[in-house]
Amino acid sequence: MGLYQKTVLDNGIRVVTEAIPTLKSFSLGIWITTGSRDEVARENGLSHFIEHLLFKGTERRSAFDISREIESVGGIINAFTGKEYTCFHAKVLHKDIALAIDILSDIFVNSIFDPQEIERERMVILQEIKMVEDTPDDYIHDLFHRCFWGDHPLGYPIAGVVENVLSFQREEIVTFFRENYTPDKMVVAAAGKLDHQQLVELAEAQLGRLQHAPSMVKREGVQGGKARIKVKYRELEQVHFCLGTRGVPYSHKLRFAGHTLNTMLGGNMSSRLFQEIREKRGLTYSIYSFLNTYTDTGLFGVYAGTTKDEVQEVVALTLQELKAVRAGRIRTEDLSAAKEYLRGGMILSLEGSDGMMGRLAKDEIYFGRHVPLEETLQKLKGVSEGDVDDVAQEMLDSRTLCLTLLGTMEEEGLPWKGLDL
């Protein structure tokens, strides 16, 4: 890969870059280790609200100016909020590096949080929440997180809830921003055709004025996850469900085994769940597994959508596959295929400067260092059947087995009194 470099500005902002001279693009991200996990119940949705508002005008630019200046050079600007971080990012040609850092820094340092824009964006976010709730294969994941994590912030929906979004006032928004978006929680990551020292100087000029005042906000730890079954009744053609247990943390020693296990179970079209339930039996159009990893915990789950008449069979078959893996019934050829699938996906994801930029930032956030691709691939290659068995024993635990259903079902009439692995 390219040349990795890291510099820490005087105020604590970390600047990490990977120079790839053969590329023509440049991707830049300002990452902040604040997300929906860092909100208390009455604040749920603030991180996502702030993500929207930072594009709504600064002391120097209107909302229209922000998008026009980037798009007039063929660039892209956007942002996203996660459970543990928020990212504001841009992708431009190499010649427009200074413009990209100027605009992203401007919206971060000089946003005015105009009251009229707050009211307009409030309505946009309410529409976004309604859109998710109208999309059952999305909404079921919010319900599942709430079922699994309970009242812990990891169970909160990233976009927040309607009553919160309606109640947020400018003073509360600005206070949350000042207390949670501090230099010690910031990573400036860039990849592509770039000069590290040039980027450091630009970042220092634009972001160095931010005061070195570490955030006093402490993230709540988590135990979370206990066996339960929850139903959300809704008139739908299908019943959608998520079934899952506790996963492993982002930096866990068995994380590669965890991702390998997830791939074998439901990570692609040749996986056990897809082949057994969709291809052989035709019981569902969509079924897959997922592994969400966080700083100190994780969540493994399976999603499927099927008819009310067949949901009991699909759940039973899903449990059957989980039990088989937990019992160690893993074929060597399946393990090899899953590792090669992950290896290829990692390499392909780094063919663009934006993929490289994201990897740089997450390495810094979760490991505090650059993790070379070769090191990652070597650890993935070393995953053994024993490792997969170990992670299966750790993750697939009946004590944290949670089932959430969305559709025309009543909780009183469920065929399950409990679930077991």
Angle of CA points 34, 36, 42, to nearest 5°: 115
User: Order of strands across the sheet with 86-93?
Assistant: 3-8, 14-19, 186-192, 25-32, 86-93, 76-81
Alpha-carbon gap, residue 352 to 360, rounded angstroms: 13
Judge contact between 153 and 38, C-beta under 8 A: yes
Strands 76-81 and 86-93: antiparallel
| 3-state secondary structure (DSSP) of residue 187 | strand
Q: Tokens in use for 258?
A: 């965890």
Closest CA to 358 of 20, 61, 28, 134: 28
User: Order of strands across the sheet with 228-233?
Assistant: 228-233, 402-407, 239-246, 298-306, 287-293
List active site positions.
51
Alpha-carbon gap, residue 166 to 351, rounded angstroms: 42
Describe the crossing of helices 97-109 and 196-207 by its angle, rounded to 10 degrees.
Answer: 30
Radius of gyration of the chain (CA): 23
